[in-house]
């Protein structure tokens, strides 16, 4: 039998098996679709949180406070070295500008600053840090090195806030990975259990195939295709459910969290997410069918 004829036979046999046991396959597809919808919603939520963390992290700056009498040449050298080291942008802030910022932040209480005899704030250099330069360990090493300069009095880069943002991002990634593994294993078990029932219901056909000389691979192939089809159909249903969620619930969520300025596109499944759904769905269905035929199809 040629490859084309074999594939055609396997496909017809798999579709026939689904047609003969629709209830079993509906259970498997429904379970896979629910798992994939949960995965898709988690990925969409993670994308929103990543965007939020990036927006919050965009305000992370390193401020280097300078001693009185620091020469412009040393300040220029420091700005150049910091910009080269962090790949960020540096800005020199005068004491008057710093005092004006403080008064603006204090609001009405800031009017008391106008009565000061002299400005107590020093000159400082602010460094806007790009995302790749926000690792707490690297910033701590840089700040320690900058503090050793004789004309630097203090270095501040919001250590506690930066460490919290980094911890949140890492926790999200770890949680997503754990959830994905649990969903994947659960779906594989469900597919394996449903295919076991399908194999049991077609045990007489399998015995006849073996009697006429069918090989193990020939008997197992339709069941593998059934699992693959279950995953693809489940991914399609999950994609439709996510689009429905984005269409009906997404605008309300965008309006509810409008103060975060995440945009309405954040509530829609991206093309990459749709590809992930089909890839993961097919993988889960295929893995479940492999487990079923190896454990329960003794041919």
CB atoms under 10 Å from CB of 170, counted, come to 10
Token pair in block for residue 92? 């020199």
Residues 132, 89: Cα–Cα separation, whole Å: 13
Instruction: Please tell me the distance from the alpha carbon of residue 290 to that of residue 195, in angstroms, as a whole number.
Output: 10
* Residue of 203, 222, 192 whose CA lies nearest to 24: 192
CA geometry: angle at 42 spanning 263 and 46, to 5°? 50
pLDDT category at 236 given cuts 50, 70, 90 is very high
Give the neighbor-by-neighbor strand order of the sheet with 124-128.
Answer: 89-93, 124-128, 61-66, 152-156
End-to-end CA distance of the chain: 21
Q: Percentage of the chain with pLDDT > 90?
A: 8
50-74 residue pLDDT tens: 676 665 555 567 889 999 888 889 9
Provide CATH code, domain 61-157: 3.30.70.3040
DSSP string for 59-84:
T-EEEEEE-TT--HHHHHHHHHHHHH
Question: In which region does residue 205 sit, left (phi positive, over 0), alpha (psi from -120 to 50) or beta (all else)?
Answer: alpha
Residue 210, helix vs strand vs coil? helix
Is the pLDDT higher at 54 or at 25?
25
Q: Which DSSP helix (H) or strand (E) runs through 119?
A: none
Tokens for 150, please give them: 């004789």
Question: Do 19 and 224 meet the contact criterion of CB atoms below 8 Å apart?
Answer: no
Structural contact between residues 270 and 47, judged by C-beta atoms closer than 8 angstroms = yes
pLDDT per position as a tens digit, 79-115: 999 888 888 889 899 888 888 877 777 777 666 666 6
Measured torsion, CA atoms of residues 21, 223, 202, 215, in degrees rounded to the nearest 10: 160
* CB-based contact 18:223 (threshold 8 Å): no
Domain ranges of the chain: 3-55+164-296, 61-157
Contact 64, 146 (CB under 8 A): yes
What are the pLDDT digits (tens) for 244-278?
A: 888 887 667 666 555 455 554 445 778 888 898 89
pTM equals 0.60
């Amino acid at each position: 039998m040629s490859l084309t004829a074999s594939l055609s036979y396997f496909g017809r046999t798999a579709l026939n098996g689904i047609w003969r046991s629709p209830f079993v396959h509906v259970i498997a597809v429904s379970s896979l679709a629910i798992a994939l919808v949960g995965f898709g919603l988690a990925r969409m939520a993670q994308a929103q949180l990543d965007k939020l963390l990036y927006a919050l992290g965009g305000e992370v700056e390193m401020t280097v406070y300078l001693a009185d009498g620091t020469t412009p040449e040393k300040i220029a050298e420091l700005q150049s070295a910091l910009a080269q080291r962090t790949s960020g942008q540096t800005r020199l802030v005068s004491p008057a500008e710093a005092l004006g910022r403080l008064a603006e932040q204090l609001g009405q209480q800031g009017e008391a600053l106008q009565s000061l005899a002299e400005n107590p704030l020093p000159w400082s250099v602010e460094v806007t840090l790009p995302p790749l330069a926000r690792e707490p360990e690297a910033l701590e090493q840089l700040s320690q090195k900058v503090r050793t300069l004789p004309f630097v009095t203090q270095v501040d880069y919001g250590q506690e806030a930066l460490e919290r943002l980094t911890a949140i991002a890492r926790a999200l990634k770890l949680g997503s990975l754990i959830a994905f593994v649990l969903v994947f294993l659960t779906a594989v078990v469900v597919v394996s259990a449903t295919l076991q029932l399908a194999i049991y219901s077609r045990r007489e056909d399998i015995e006849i195939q073996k009697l006429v000389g069918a090989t193990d691979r020939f008997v197992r192939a339709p069941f593998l295709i059934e699992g693959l089809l279950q995953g693809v159909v489940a991914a399609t249903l999950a994609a439709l459910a996510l689009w429905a969620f984005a269409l009906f619930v997404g605008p309300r969520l965008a309006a509810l969290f409008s103060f975060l300025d995440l945009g309405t596109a954040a509530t829609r499944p991206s093309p990459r997410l749709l590809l992930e759904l089909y890839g993961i769905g097919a993988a889960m269905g295929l893995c479940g069918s492999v487990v079923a035929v190896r454990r329960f199809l003794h041919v």
